[in-house]
Amino acid sequence: MKESKVIFSLAFILTMLAPLIFFEIGSVKFASVSAQTKDQCTEQINKAEEVYQAGNWTEVIELIDQCLTKSNLSEVEKGKAYRIMSLVYIAMHSEKEANDAVKNLLLMDPNYQIDPDRDPLSLQKIIDDMAQTLTPKITVIAPNSIDQKEDGFTMTVNGSNFAYGSEVRFNGKGKSTIFISDTLLQAEIPASDILKADGYEITVHSPILKGRTSNAEMFVVETSSNFLWRWIAVGSGAIAVVVAAIFLLKPPPDDETIADPPGRP
């Protein structure tokens, strides 16, 4: 009996520890893969720099393209990769490709300063010209309205020319922002910002050229009563449309034959 209890206790402990063991193994494996990806890209970038100095443009482009396709690549590594790509296309006199590479360089490293010992002065000229075109622009925010009694929420901001380090601002106040891509940001809006029913401006501040601000999109915090009445109005309207559709789509009744009146005796 005592042995059964011991076995049961050991089995219970192993059952409780198994998820933790697998979690730790998974975390170590993920960290190892991530570190390996970054190490491999760092090696390729360093090699691409050497190959660039040797004038082997095609090989440089192949090395950088391989690096940029790797997952879990940091924005810093991407910036380094796009810098070398910019240098190659400048050397090849490929204007469009050079401009595209410099644009991506600035989106990853918004205030990149050239190194006179490594970078040609022509890179600075392209950077200055390109930076003037990279004003952030908001196209859509979601949600664009909310009930004032709601809790804090995550706002998604779609647009263009969002650089790494861009900040979503709620009525001029910066919010915790996650850079997803040059067209997508996510910002955490706390409940304290939506206590008062009103309209608020949403903008994006980019660090390019020491700071550029986007157009403003309006975000509305509604009172509970307005929110309720709007729901009732919308709901009533929807019900009315459904009822009308039922009557309009209902087939007409079949024609009934009227019997002749009975004859008189």
CATH number assigned to the domain comprising residue 153: 2.60.40.10
Q: Are residues 72 and 20 in the same domain?
A: yes
Residues 133-157: what's their mean pLDDT? 94
123 with 95: CB under 8 angstroms?
no
Query: Per the domain annotation, does 110 fall within a domain?
Result: yes
Mean pLDDT value across the chain: 81
User: What sign has the CA pseudo-torsion 205, 183, 156, 179?
Assistant: negative
Q: Are residues 122 and 145 in the same domain?
A: no
Query: Per the domain annotation, does 251 fall within a domain?
Result: no
Q: Are residues 145 and 188 in the same domain?
A: yes
| Residue 30 amino acid letter | F
Query: Per the domain annotation, does 14 fall within a domain?
Result: yes
Q: Are residues 88 and 195 in the same domain?
A: no
Residues 125-151: what's their mean pLDDT? 94
Q: Are residues 69 and 152 in the same domain?
A: no
Q: Are residues 202 and 143 in the same domain?
A: yes
Q: Are residues 15 and 120 in the same domain?
A: yes
Residue 75 has pLDDT above 60, yes or no: yes
Q: Are residues 14 and 127 in the same domain?
A: yes
Q: Are residues 166 and 83 in the same domain?
A: no
| Residue 156 amino acid letter | T
Query: Per the domain annotation, does 246 fall within a domain?
Result: no
Q: Choose the final residue of a domain: 108, 131, 154.
A: 131
Query: Per the domain annotation, does 238 fall within a domain?
Result: no
- Confidence (pLDDT) at 150: 81
Of the candidates 154, 207, 206, 159, the residue with the CA atom closest to the CA atom of residue 183: 159
109 with 164: CB under 8 angstroms?
yes
For the chain, how many residues are written? Answer: 265
Instruction: Provide Rg for the chain, Cα atoms.
Output: 32
Query: Per the domain annotation, does 94 fall within a domain?
Result: yes
Query: Per the domain annotation, does 118 fall within a domain?
Result: yes
Residues 44-48: what's their mean pLDDT? 92
Q: Are residues 169 and 97 in the same domain?
A: no
Q: Choose the final residue of a domain: 131, 155, 177.
A: 131
Dist CA 41 CA 48 (whole Å): 10
Q: What is the 3-state secondary structure (H, E, C) of the chain?
A: CHHHHHHHHHHHHHHHHHHHHHHHHHHHHHHHHHHHHHHHHHHHHHHHHHHHHHCCHHHHHHHHHHHHCCCCCCHHHHHHHHHHHHHHHHHCCCHHHHHHHHHHHHHHCCCCCCCCCCCCHHHHHHHHHHHCCCCCEEEEEECCEEECCCCCEEEEEEEECCCCCCEEEECCEECCEEEEECCEEEEEECHHHHCCCEEEEEEEEECHHHCEECCCEEEEEECHHHHHHHHHHHHHHHHHHHHHHHHHHCCCCCCCCCCCCCCCC
**Regarding predicted confidence, which is higher, 29 or 177?**
177
As for how many domains the chain has, the answer is 2
Residue 1 has pLDDT above 80, yes or no: no
What is the extent of the structural domain holding 16? 2-131
Q: Are residues 119 and 45 in the same domain?
A: yes
CATH number, domain containing residue 106: 1.25.40
Question: CA separation (Å) from 83 to 38, 48, 99, 102?
Answer: 17, 11, 11, 7
Q: Are residues 180 and 114 in the same domain?
A: no
Query: Per the domain annotation, does 262 fall within a domain?
Result: no
- Confidence (pLDDT) at 265: 47
